[in-house]
A = this chain, B = another copy of it.
Amino acid sequence: MARTTAGRFFEDFHVGETLVHAVPRTVTTGDAALYVALTGARNVIHCADSFARDCGLERAPIDDVLAFHVMFGKSVTDISLNAVANLGYAEGRFLAPIYPGDTLSSQSEVIGLKQNSNGRTGTVWVRTRGFRDDECVLEFVRWVMVQKRDAASPPPDAVVPELKSALSVNDLVVTDSLRAPADPDNLAGGHWRFEDYEIGERIDHVDGMTLEETEHRLATRLYQNTARVHFNAHLAREGRFGKCLVYGGHVLSLARALSWNGLETVLRIAGINGGTHANPCFAGDTIYAWSEVLDAQPLPGSPDLGALRLRLVATKDQPCDTFPLKLENGRYRPEVLLDFDYWAILPRKAGDGA
């Protein structure tokens, strides 16, 4: 009798079922310190209790992206151990700040299934919800290409969920107590506020960060994400790339950390509209990033805060002063790793609100 699991295959998923993911996790200041060491993350609300209190929170919450990775990591064993590719994200919402000491768990509901025309793989859509005790604090939809156990097994009825191409600002949840910090000393590191950014503006984040094998593995294990493509070099040598793939979420972490230079005053990530891992990333790659302001909206009920819809693009071995994205044929340029679309919350200028 098989004690171990080799992961679920396409045939094992059924629309409407809910998978409760194992291994809840109490996140700690240890996780937060490691996240800083692994990524260089510097958004000050996550770094200093004093600043977080000045923003109306009880103390520094863990980085929103770290919280996302912890919730995501739990889902891998049930959803994507046999995934061929992470295809996309949608309808991600960060519903509450998460603090060291909170115990996090997650569940995923299967909301869509569609076999691919090759008969060997299918797409699985899941809505993953992350909880602090019984409170849902984060949710997102993702879809992955999963292998079939047996190409001959019959396809399920195709169910393709209708997903929003982007959240509207009304979909975002802002913690009631969150407010623009006074910050007369510019402790956030940048002077720019919500009104300073213009729709259509693009920002080259300038710096590059080279990543090594150990770094992405430490990060991915920290999230208890055990997808074997990241860890087993012995197996990978015979695989498609001949080496281990970097968890796409680590590229997101690095790009977001690099984006501090130009987006220093971002207080929180509020929503994920979409995301594409455009090309694989490997140890030794140097990550660069640029951002584009896609939209800017005041936040109803929070007169001193505004929301920017941002595209965050990560590249490898390619500085971003030319804002590289797609080829003429519409495909992503080979140096583009990530194209991520999200809502960020920033302080407004004093007196502009209310």
Residue ranges of A at the interface with B (Cβ–Cβ < 8 Å): 3-6, 20, 22-26, 28-34, 36-40, 42, 44, 47-51, 59-60, 77, 100, 103, 105, 133, 185-190, 192, 197, 201, 203-210, 212-215, 217-219, 221-222, 224, 226, 228, 231-235, 244, 261-264, 284, 286, 317
Contacts and interface: CB of A to CB of B under 8 A. Distances in A.
B264 A22 contact: yes
A212 B210 contact: no
B24 A48 contact: yes
B37 A221 contact: yes
19 contacts: A3-B197, A3-B262, A4-B204, A22-B190, A23-B48, A23-B189, A28-B29, A30-B30, A30-B32, A33-B33, A37-B222, A40-B226, A40-B231, A208-B235, A210-B232, A210-B233, A210-B244, A212-B212, A233-B286
B221 A218 contact: no
Nearest to A60: B26
B28 A44 contact: no
Contacts of A186: 20, 22
A284 B206 CA distance: 28
A332 B28 CA distance: 41
A200 to B, nearest CB: 13
Contacts of A231: 40, 207-210
A23 B44 contact: yes
A138 B197 CA distance: 37
A202 to B, nearest CB: 9
A332 to B, nearest CB: 19
Contacts of A264: 22
Q: Work out how many copies of this chain go into the complex.
A: 3
A221 B23 contact: no
A40 B224 contact: yes
**3 smallest beta-carbon distances between A and B, as pairs:** A30-B33, A22-B189, A234-B286
B4 A25 contact: no
Contacts of A203: 3-4
Given A22-B189, A30-B30, A221 B51 contact: no
A222 B215 CA distance: 13
A296 B217 CA distance: 35
Given A228-B207, A317-B234, A42 B23 contact: yes
A196 to B, nearest CB: 8
Contacts of A187: 20, 22-24, 105
B23 A28 contact: no
A88 B224 CA distance: 31
A20 B212 contact: no
A133 B50 CA distance: 8
A25 B37 contact: no
B38 A28 contact: no
Given A32-B30, A37-B221, A42-B23, A228 B208 contact: yes
A292 to B, nearest CB: 12
Contacts of A25: 47-48
- Most chain-B Cβ atoms within 10 A of its Cβ — which of A190, A204, A218, A244? A218
Contacts of A212: 212-214, 217
A5 B204 CA distance: 10
